[in-house]
C-alpha cells in the first residue's frame, strides 16, 4: 500500500459512477417486495432469513433456482406460512430437467416461469409490484437480469459482481436510463458505501479493498502447484459457494471486485488498492482528499451488507455477531503477492484495458474454475488458462449486450479448448 498522496483524478480518468454518492435514495413502499435470484444459494438463503426477521418490512415477489427444486419449494412453503396473506412468489427454474420436476410439483406448478435465462428475466420484469432485485446469481448469467431490473427502475441489491465485470458500461447506461438504484452487497463495496454515506465524489482520494488472503496466504509458491481441491475450498473466514471460494483462493475474487469498484464508485484504477487483511474484520476503507481514512469493521456476516443494500442504506436491527475490539487485538495488513497470486494482476490489467478484456477474463475464469471443481485441471492451471485466453483474444469495444454475450461465448470456447489440451497432457 503506497503512502504517496493521491489527488482526485480528472473526469476523463474516472468512470461514470453508479453509486448514488451524495444523492438521496428513493422512498420505496413498505413492505418492500423482493425478487430473489439464486434463492437456494448463500445470498438467497440469507435474504429469506432477513424476510423472516422483518416480515412487516419485506415480502417476496419472485424466487429463482437452478436445479434445487425441493429447496425452493420448501422456501415457498415457508413464505406461505410466514405471510399467509401475501400472494405466493413466482418461481424461475433455469435447469431444464429441474424445470420439468417443478412443473408437476403441486405447490410450484402454478407459479412456474419459463425455463432457462428467460425465466430469470421474466421474474425481474413481471413479478407483481416488485421493488427490489436481489441478484445472488453466480457468474455472467447475472448480467441480463441486472439489466432487466435497471430497465424496470428497481433498487438492485447486487451480489453478482460479474454484472459489472462483464457489462459495466451497459449496466451504467441502463441504470441511468431506467432511473434505477444499484447498491452493492459484497462486504467490501458495502463497507465503502457506508464510509461514503453523505459524502461527495470530489472528497474521495482512493478506495482500499481488503482481502483475507484465502487459504494459501502463507503457502510457499513452490507448493501451490500441488494443493488439493479440498485445500482450495477450505476458506479461513467465509462460508461461500464453491466458485466464489475458489476465486478467493486465487485472489481472482478481489480482482473482480476492483473492476466492480471502478464502475460502482467512478474511481480510476490508479486510485483503487488491495491490501491483505487476514483477520477479515476491516471490510474496506476510504481515504479522503485531506488524508483522513474511514473504515467499516464488523464480524463476517453477509446479512449485514445485504440488509444495508435492501433497506436503502439503513441499519435495521439484526442479531449478528458483535465485534469484540479487545479480543481482536492488532489489525494486520499486508501487500498482496502478485507473483504467487497472478489472477489478481490479470484482473487489474484487464480492468485497465477495458472493453472486452474483462469479459474474456471472467469467462475464462468461470470455465477454469468449473474444470478445477470437476478435477480436470489443477489449481495452478487457472491463471495459465486465463492469461492464454486474454492473449488469444485482443480487447475490442463493447457496444451492446449482443457483443458482450458473443465475446463471452467465444472466450468460453477458447478456455475449453485450452483445458482439453491441459487435461490430455496431464493424462
Dump the DSSP string for 41-109: SHHHHHHHHHHHH-TTTEEEEEEEESS-HHHHHHHHHHHHHH-TTSPPPEEEE-SHHHHHHHHT-TTTT
Domain spans of the chain, in order of start: 32-188
- Confidence label for 239 from pLDDT (cuts 50, 70 and 90): low
Q: What is the pLDDT of residue 244?
A: 87
- Closest C-alpha among 293, 314, 309, 322 to residue 195: 293
pLDDT at position 237 is 67
What is the Cα–Cα distance from 75 to 70, expressed in whole angstroms?
9
Does residue 386 carry a pLDDT above 80?
A: yes
What pLDDT does 7 receive? 38
Q: Rounded distance, CA 291 to CA 223, Å? A: 40
Cell digits of residue 194: 457506508
Residue 12 has pLDDT above 70, yes or no: no
Cβ 43 vs Cβ 185: under 8 Å: yes
**Can you give the length of the chain in residues?**
427
Confidence of residue 425 (pLDDT cuts 50, 70, 90): confident
pLDDT band at 4 (very low <50, low <70, confident <90, very high): very low
Cell numbers at 198, concatenated: 453523505
Count other C-beta atoms under 10 Å from residue 64's C-beta. 29
In 21-59, which positions are buried (b, 16+ CB within 10 angstroms) versus exposed (e)?
A: beeeeeebeebbbbbbbbbbbbbbbbbbebbeebeebbb
Q: Is residue 3 over pLDDT 70?
A: no
For 355, counting Cβ atoms within 10 Å of its Cβ (0-12 exposed, 13-18 middle, 19+ buried), the class is middle
The helix/strand/coil state of 158 is strand
Specify the pLDDT at position 343: 97
Residues 218 and 245: their CA atoms lie apart, in Å, by 17
Residues 6+ apart with CB under 8 A from 83: 55, 59
User: For residue 150, what is its C-alpha cell?
Assistant: 435497471
Q: How far, in Å, CA of 231 to CA of 24, rounded?
A: 45
As a whole number of angstroms, the distance between CA 57 and CA 230 comes to 40
Q: Report whether pLDDT(383) > 70.
A: yes
**CA–CA–CA angle 332, 334, 336 (5° rounding):** 150
Nearest residue to 45 (alpha-carbon basis) of 33, 53, 36, 54:
36
Rounded CA separation 132/65 (Å): 18
The pLDDT-based confidence of 116 (bands split at 50, 70, 90) is very high
Q: What is the mean pLDDT of the chain?
A: 92
Number of neighbouring beta carbons within 10 Å of residue 343: 24
27-60 confidence digits (pLDDT tens):
999 999 999 999 999 999 999 999 999 999 999 9
Is residue 15 very low, low, confident or very high in pLDDT (cuts 50, 70, 90)?
low
pLDDT mean over 241-254: 92
Enter the CATH code of domain 32-188.
3.40.50.720
Provide the pairing of β-strand 90-93 with 58-65: parallel
Chain segment 328-342, per-residue pLDDT in tens: 888 999 999 999 999
Amino acid at each position: 500500500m503506497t503512502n504517496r498522496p493521491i489527488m482526485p483524478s480528472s473526469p476523463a480518468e474516472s468512470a461514470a459512477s453508479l453509486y448514488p454518492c451524495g444523492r438521496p435514495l428513493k422512498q420505496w413502499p413498505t413492505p418492500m417486495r423482493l425478487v430473489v435470484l439464486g434463492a437456494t444459494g448463500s445470498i438467497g438463503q440469507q435474504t429469506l432469513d432477513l424476510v423472516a426477521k422483518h416480515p412487516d418490512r419485506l415480502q417476496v415477489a419472485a424466487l429463482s433456482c437452478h436445479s434445487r427444486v425441493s429447496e425452493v419449494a420448501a422456501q415457498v412453503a415457508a413464505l406461505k406460512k410466514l405471510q399467509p396473506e401475501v400472494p405466493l412468489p413466482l418461481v424461475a427454474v433455469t435447469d431444464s430437467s429441474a424445470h420439468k420436476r417443478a412443473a408437476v410439483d403441486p405447490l410450484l406448478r402454478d407459479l412456474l416461469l419459463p425455463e432457462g435465462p428467460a425465466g430469470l428475466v421474466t421474474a425481474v420484469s413481471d413479478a407483481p409490484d416488485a421493488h427490489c432485485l436481489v441478484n445472488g446469481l453466480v457468474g455472467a448469467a447475472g448480467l441480463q437480469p441486472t439489466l432487466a431490473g435497471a430497465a424496470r427502475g428497481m433498487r438492485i441489491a447486487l451480489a453478482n459482481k460479474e454484472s459489472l465485470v462483464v457489462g459495466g458500461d451497459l449496466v451504467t447506461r441502463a441504470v441511468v436510463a431506467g432511473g434505477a438504484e444499484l447498491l452493492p452487497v459484497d462486504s467490501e463495496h458495502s463497507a465503502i458505501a457506508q464510509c461514503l454515506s453523505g459524502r461527495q465524489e470530489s472528497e474521495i482520494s482512493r478506495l482500499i479493498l481488503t482481502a483475507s488472503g484465502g487459504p494459501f496466504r502463507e503457502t510457499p509458491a513452490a507448493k501451490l502447484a500441488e494443493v488439493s481441491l479440498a485445500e482450495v475450498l477450505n476458506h479461513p473466514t467465509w462460508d461461500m459457494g464453491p466458485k466464489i471460494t475458489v476465486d478467493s483462493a486465487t485472489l481472482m475474487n478481489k480482482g473482480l471486485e476492483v473492476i466492480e469498484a471502478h464502475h460502482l464508485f467512478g474511481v480510476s484504477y490508479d486510485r483503487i488498492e488491495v491490501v491483505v487483511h487476514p483477520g477479515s474484520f476491516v471490510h474496506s476503507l476510504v481515504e479522503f482528499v485531506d488524508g483522513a481514512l474511514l473504515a467499516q469493521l464488523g464480524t463476517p456476516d453477509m446479512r449485514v451488507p445485504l440488509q444495508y443494500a435492501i433497506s436503502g442504506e439503513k441499519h435495521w436491527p439484526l442479531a449478528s455477531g458483535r465485534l469484540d475490539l479487545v479480543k481482536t487485538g492488532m489489525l494486520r495488513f499486508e501487500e498482496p503477492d502478485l507473483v504467487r497470486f497472478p489472477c489478481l494482476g490479470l484482473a487489474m490489467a484487464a480492468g485497465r484495458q477495458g472493453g472486452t478484456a474483462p469479459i474474456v477474463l471472467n469467462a475464462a475464469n468461470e470455465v477454469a474454475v468449473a474444470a478445477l471443481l470437476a478435477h480436470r485441471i489443477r489449481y495452478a492451471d487457472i491463471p495459465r488458462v486465463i492469461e492464454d485466453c486474454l492473449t488469444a483474444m485482443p480487447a475490442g469495444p463493447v457496444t451492446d449486450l449482443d457483443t458482450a454475450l458473443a465475446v463471452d461465448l467465444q472466450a468460453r470456447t477458447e478456455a475449453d479448448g485450452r483445458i482439453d489440451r491441459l487435461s490430455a497432457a496431464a493424462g
